[in-house]
Amino acid sequence: MDVCPAPHEKLLNSDFREKEPRKWRSWQFTVMLGAVTAFVIFAANAGVLVWTRKNFQNVAGVATIFQGDCDVSNNAATIFHLAVNILSPLLLSASNVCAQLLSASTRKNIAKAHVKGRWFDIGVPSVRNLYRIPLWRTLGWTILFASSIPLHLVYNSVIFTTFSARSYQAAYVSSNFSTTTDRWNATIPGRTQRQLGTLVDLQHNFDQLRNLTVRECVSAYTGSTNAANWGNLLIIASNVGNLPPVLAMKGFESTDGPGWARDIRCGMGQNLTVQKNTTGCVILNDGKDKIMGIGSFAHIDYCLAESLEAKCTVRISMVVLAIVTLCNLLKVIVMLITVTSGFAPLANVGDAISSFLDEPDITMEAQGPLTIFDVRNREWQDRVAADFALDVIHFAFRNLVGRGLLVCGIAAWGGGVQAKSLGNPTDAYTADTLIRTTLDASIFSNILLVNTPQVLISFVYLFYNNAVTGMLLAREYGNYASTRKPFRTTRPVGQQRTTYWLQMPHRYVLPLTAGMALLHRLVSRSIFLVQIETYDASGSSEDTLVDTINACDYSVIFAIPALVLGFALIVSLGCLSYRKVDPGMPVAGPCSLAISAACANVMEVYAARGPVQYGVLTNRKPDADGRQ
């Protein structure tokens, strides 16, 4: 390592020795900032938990904090989920920084390892270091990692909305339905007394029903709340020929798509074809059941529907919130212990080189320049940046496609992705996009299902962070071959530069964090939890909270942008891997042995405190291997 060409006396008489290092290292400020962020999130979670427990009834681990207008409940849920998708990446970033520091080696750890011919990773997140660091730091790292999984697995579902949905009767009737004195046989097979009673009620309340065009009718009953605002329905057909007052009727469950709407093939003002294999509608004619076959037509004029008040609620899962709060608290505790523990990790490559220059590693004194490949004792095959980029893209692409196929497969398995069922841009559900196989599952099973992609994104973030960190470390280390400059350290002395980031600068951290936050948000809207309270045709509640239907819904509207953003992140990583490292310096990577070997021939006492540049000294005789 060649030092700046200043006279030796200038080095000794400069402020390199006189300038005392600050009491705290800069990484401690960074971790403390993360601890404060984690504590604020913890306080918010704990406050909501205490407030909910004190003011609202807890039924089966769930508390209802709002009941009323659906727009208000949707907006409240949207605001909360947006906050979660912003806070989660911040919490994950703070946790990752602390975990990287806990797994970082100290100079004492390195000295012991080098004597045995082993080495540590420096400046990058490392799992291999965990086997050689003190137990308390390994436990802290494990707690930080383990506590992140429940956060991303359930945090998005702490607060969720409940929608009302009604089972209703849709009846095809002639235009003289309201005035006819004819009565249909109440003992018709397949028709219950309750269903026939509904027709009687509709006839009595005919003038109170809401008049809708065919287009409005289809739109209303295929909306996001699946007739939550609408009850029983009369589809009025022209009184052509000797049609009976009731042509056909069918009951629809609250979570069914409105099959009658699919039978309106040509839109408003066109003929309705009731197909045998589509609805199985029953023609009520002369007290006998007949299937209306293909080719039987009835001209639809308009619809009459019961206008009802939609019932929506906002609910908090107390159990899930308690889990999130506990995990949050564990992170705060580990971060505070890390800050106050007093250990001195070599947080980045600048810390490591500075340490090796101040206190040369005697085990590497006669080694000469080494590469990480020499250390690994294998032949180095030259690989261009394009090869590395292809590897990165291949790995990330497989991950992205896997997640996409998983979501699409679940959707297809649960009922199919239909071209007209792209989903809804709100948190409300659409009957056509409900994943049918989740209707009978418990709320916790569905929570785990809808948040599994969030965990996968978090693992992708870790991979992305590690890959970018490794590239930036190689670039920073290689720059010393072409540029003379002071080190960037977490505890600067002399002319050394201070830093509050480890290896990834803020110009990389901020876009990556923002991109991951947006990806979390889009995925959370692509597949989400819905809870449906069912009501019968008369509006009375059918189920209690414990028996409320829990299901998963999906929205292709958000899934497509999520896949596009994921692909953009992969492309940006591939482009970053094409950046070249300055030549003239052995490729050390994060290997402590290779970095130490590059610092073994320094003659200046305070070289680490001034600008430095890598170079080979020739004032020593070559050894048997020809090394200087």
Helix (H) or strand (E) holding 528, with range, is strand 527-535
Give the pLDDT score at 138: 93
Does the pLDDT at position 601 exceed 90?
A: no
Percent helix / strand / coil, the chain, rounded to 5: 50, 15, 35
**What is the DSSP-derived secondary structure letter of residue 431?**
G
Residue 305, Cβ density class (10 Å: 0-12 exposed, 13-18 middle, ≥19 buried): buried
Q: Which residue has the tokens 């030092």?
A: 3
Exposed e or buried b per residue across 195-225, where buried means at least 16 C-beta atoms within 10 angstroms of its C-beta: bbebbeebbeeeeebbebebeebbebbbbbb
In angstroms, the CA 541 to CA 115 distance is 75
Give the pLDDT score at 526: 84
Give the pLDDT score at 193: 59
Helix, strand or coil for residue 155? helix
Question: Which region holds residue 123: left if phi is over 0, alpha if psi is between -120 and 50, else beta?
Answer: left
Query: Contact at 8 Å (CB) between 497 and 488?
Result: yes
Higher pLDDT, residue 475 or 545: 475
Q: How confident is the model at residue 600 (pLDDT cuts 50, 70, 90)?
A: low
Higher pLDDT, residue 271 or 397: 397
Does the pLDDT at position 170 exceed 80?
A: no
State how far the alpha carbon of 420 is from the alpha carbons of 199, 229, 408, 424, 432, in Å: 31, 21, 15, 11, 9
Query: Contact at 8 Å (CB) between 429 and 163?
Result: yes
105-126 mean pLDDT: 87
Question: Which region holds residue 572: left if phi is over 0, alpha if psi is between -120 and 50, else beta?
Answer: alpha
Does the pLDDT at position 244 exceed 70?
A: no
Does the pLDDT at position 592 exceed 50?
A: yes
135-162 mean pLDDT: 88
Percentage of the chain modeled with pLDDT above 90: 10
What confidence tens digit (pLDDT) does each residue in 88-98 have? Answer: 888 888 898 89
**What is the DSSP-derived secondary structure letter of residue 225?**
T
In angstroms, the CA 476 to CA 349 distance is 8
Give the pLDDT score at 98: 92
Does the pLDDT at position 275 exceed 80?
A: no
Percentage of the chain modeled with pLDDT above 70: 66
Q: Packing angle between helix 443-479 and helix 349-358, nearest 10 degrees?
A: 50
Q: What DSSP line would sit under 5-44, residue for residue?
A: SS-HHHHHHSHHHHSPPPSS-HHHHHHHHHHHHHHHHHHH
Give 260's contacts (C-beta < 8 A, 6+ positions apart): 170, 172, 221, 233, 235, 250, 252, 279, 281
Strands 549-554 and 210-212: unpaired
Give the pLDDT score at 418: 38
